Structure 1
């Protein structure tokens, strides 16, 4: 009998979901899909491969394993409008983990990632006008409400990036309790956060092939001075952290304050752009019934 996932990390993008996926995969009795983001329920081209293709990512799981996957596309409205309907069809009893982060920090991190992937080519202040998804994906209540309406609040666990970085073991225990994991999990402090980087390099297939091919990599290190290699690397790297203008910061704060105010009522606490980081770090929060 083919196994269905018991839970899904549904986002948000650039909130350490890759790190969480890897930490869960280390726990005995939890099986996480090797393909971290199947995006089956969101992306039409993936969905067209059929449910058997999706379930093949869990075929190596043991009968008693809890199975999970992580696809941040599942909370990218309005980009992927059929996600909820498809999830309800195949996984009506699944549980969902949603990781949130200060909305402006998340937006900046997404911009940096999209720039490195050649999705966005303009600077950040122009990008927030041309790419409304930068804002949409930080509107957490907009992304959550369809899940509440379809599956109910008790099927979604709110997790915050800032608290997970500060108290990783506690948050891992909360997550494991939520998904019904019977054992004591252990956060591996040696495992690097896989989606956090101090610099971003623009995507290049041919460059990556040259850099990562074992023989060529060794030869390059022997023959080419490190100073020259660093200079070449700098040509592909974003030179400085994207900076929003004060006017755009004010504009974004006005947008996100409304969303955070509603999110705060759902969580029984006051949330704003100003108090967000300290508030979510202080104590674990869950939905007010």
Structure 2
């Protein structure tokens, strides 16, 4: 979650011979309500794919321990030969982005310090070794490709080629520069049912576009936007660094390279990393 999964999903979908599901995150194996819809519902997401297409989806809910523990056994039992891609980014930056996402959706309120106390998933979903270790045990290292958002940003073509090789794509992968970054929190509006009902009303919308200058509309929109990422205090940053460094040490052992918060960006940008 919040590690460039939407960007990679869109780039894979742009390749001839790869069919990516809509919605991007069906969350079939993780969410109890989606699982209850049955395998036929899930198969229907790929009904429009051609016979020889590679089919995929990008559900981040599959690595949300301990919140959703059933995703792994369900997926393993249903698609035992699945090819998996696990995406990561600096865990503290991921946490801040997760908080911003929750604030926009109104699933998280209050300052980030308070949110961390009441929402342990902000930390848990960024404990990458803890999340991926059970999948490595279940599927084997060769089935899972580790991808880092920081390297995807600076070596986009190479990382796309790497992802396509991993899933068995025989075509020539091409990064599409026309595809914009996905899920930019600073550009989204915080959920507001009354605002959406008002804005979506055809008559009100027509009046608003005709009579209210764009500059005024933009100033009003800022009321629902998170224009700046929340700043962490020095004490909170040290606290989070201590937590994540323990997990990153385990992740580094899985990847065969020393890893901690301080070195994270440099290490993951330098070269592609694979399981040791």
Does the 8 Å CA contact 1:16/1:196 hold for their aligned counterparts? no
For 1:207, the equivalent position in structure 2 comes to 195
For 2:30, the equivalent position in structure 1 comes to 42
Does the 8 Å CA contact 2:22/2:45 hold for their aligned counterparts? yes
**Is 1:179 aligned with 2:184?**
no
How far apart are residue 207 of structure 1 and its match? 2.7
* 1:1-289 map, 5 Å: 13-211=1-199, 217-238=205-226, 240-288=228-276
TM-score (norm 2): 0.96
Distance 1:201 1:96 in 2: 32
- Residue 195 of structure 1 aligns to a residue whose secondary structure is coil
Distance 1:96 1:150 in 2: 12
- Residue 198 of structure 1 aligns to a residue whose secondary structure is helix
- Which ranges of structure 2 fall in alignment gaps of 5 or more residues? none
Distance 2:185 2:71 in 1: 29
Count of residue pairs brought into register by the alignment: 276
How far apart are residue 198 of structure 1 and its match? 3.1
Distance 1:197 1:170 in 2: 26
More displaced 10-residue stretch of structure 1: 215-224 or 227-236: 215-224
Deviations 1:177-198 (A, max 9, x none): 0000001111111100112243
C-alpha RMSD of the superposition: 1.5
Distance 2:246 2:269 in 1: 21
More displaced 10-residue stretch of structure 1: 115-124 or 229-238: 229-238
How far apart are residue 171 of structure 1 and its match? 0.2
194 and 215 in structure 1: CA distance in 2 versus 1, 3 angstrom threshold: farther
Distance 1:186 1:214 in 2: 40
